[in-house]
Amino acid sequence: MIQHFLDWFSFLQGWLFESVVEPFLFYTGMGEYTEDAFEGVEWFLAGIVEVAALYLVLRPLEAALPAQPMADRRARWNDFVYTLIHRLGFFTMAVFFTLGPVMDHVAGMLRMEGVRPFNLESLVADMPPLASFLLYLVVLDFFDYWFHRGQHKFRWWWALHSLHHSQQDMNLWSDDRNHLLDDLLRDVVLACIALAIGVAPSQYVLLVSVSRVLQSLQHANVRIHFGRLGERLLVSPRFHRTHHAVGIGHESKGRDIGGCNFGVLLPVWDILFRTANFDERFHRTGVRDQFERVNADGSVRAGRDYGRGFWRQQWLGLARMVEFSRRPAAKAREGVPDGASGAAQ
């Protein structure tokens, strides 16, 4: 079954490349990008398969086991726009293949100096493909955990990342609801790490795909958990929803950075670094400062506008980054991390 699917996928990749992409490259005089374009077709098809599989599996689950009623269905469609931008591969592929030649050049310079580039697989002789894949997945997830904490630690970074947390109607597409600059930073960092530890391009496609599918499940509006043991082995929708919880997951006080459940795939990092919260409730999600509040004098203060459409959300994210960068020493408005009260993805 799996081999049949892989054969079909390879056939479709070859047909699409030879029929559409390759003629276009030669017609436009970009024949030198043929090899990268072939890999790009793989990213594109992998994204199409992902989106279709997620819709067929998670949408019925959201309808059958919703964690909360969907108050704004337009918000889900807006998140779907983000998903198309990211899952069809153009964004991540561009970063990985742009950095590839740079990393190859650096590796060549090191070889000339007698320095052998590091390759994670070389640590274990004759490592089976599945074992090396899992090893790469764990290593990348470790760095992703700390990247995520950084998104909640620094105010200018949170200004971008808070767009992701501002979704009050979390759904299967919400994982991709990010500011493009925030995603660019993440893709550059993870691509550099992947290239530095010897991840092959074809393996990187699969690593990213598996990670994205699991993160879509985490963000889905489903009342699902993995049980006492499973919750500690893999990030579940309930575990990650706690991270998105208003005033709890990314705005709680009393911790060294504030917030909890920063793990992207594996809760083990939260357990090891004491940021885990295995609350069994399914909380309301959002950012505290987007809700209107009543001041001490009885007046009502409107909540912060995070925007509804894609371009509006992107623009407001940049405006927040400038705003927060200009007052680094000032006390942050409620709901904005200040180094003692953070947030997460």
DSSP string, 42-110: HHHHHHHHHHHHHHHHHHHHHHHS-SS--S-HHHHHHHHHHHHHHHTSHHHHHHHHHHHHHHHHHHHHH
The pLDDT value given to residue 161:
95
Question: Exposed, middle or buried by CB within 10 Å (0-12, 13-18, 19+), for 309?
Answer: exposed
Please tell me the distance from the alpha carbon of residue 313 to that of residue 57, in angstroms, as a whole number.
Answer: 28
The pLDDT value given to residue 99:
60
The pLDDT value given to residue 168:
94
Please tell me the distance from the alpha carbon of residue 257 to that of residue 233, in angstroms, as a whole number.
Answer: 23
Which residue stretches of the chain have pLDDT < 50? 253-257, 329-345
- Residues 6 or more apart whose Cβ sits within 8 Å of residue 220: 58, 61, 62, 170, 171, 172, 237
The pLDDT value given to residue 162:
94
Contact between 292 and 300 under an 8 Å Cβ cutoff? The reply is yes
Q: Where are the alpha helices (DSSP H) in the chain?
A: 2-16, 22-27, 34-64, 73-87, 90-112, 129-153, 155-165, 180-196, 201-219, 227-230, 237-244, 268-272, 310-326
Give me the phi and psi of 308, to 5 degrees please.
Answer: -115, -40
The pLDDT value given to residue 110:
57
- Using DSSP's 3-state secondary structure scheme, residue 317 falls into helix
Please tell me the distance from the alpha carbon of residue 147 to that of residue 153, in angstroms, as a whole number.
Answer: 10
Please tell me the distance from the alpha carbon of residue 118 to that of residue 80, in angstroms, as a whole number.
Answer: 38
Sign of CA dihedral 230, 236, 237, 243: positive
Please tell me the distance from the alpha carbon of residue 340 to that of residue 321, in angstroms, as a whole number.
Answer: 18
Please tell me the distance from the alpha carbon of residue 71 to that of residue 45, in angstroms, as a whole number.
Answer: 33
Nearest residue to 188 via CA among 88, 87, 97, 96: 96
Classify each residue of 183-210 as buried b or exposed e, where b means 16 or more C-beta atoms within 10 Å of its C-beta. Answer: bebbbebbbbbbbbbbbebeebbbbbbe
| Distances from the Cα of 296 to the Cα of 247, 288, 293, angstroms | 20, 17, 10
Which position has the token pair 């599918």? 213
The pLDDT value given to residue 339:
37
Please tell me the distance from the alpha carbon of residue 199 to that of residue 207, in angstroms, as a whole number.
Answer: 9
Which amino acid would we find at residue 133?
F
Contact between 262 and 344 under an 8 Å Cβ cutoff? The reply is yes
Nearest residue to 213 via CA among 167, 169, 172, 262: 172
Q: Enter the DSSP assignment of 15.
A: H
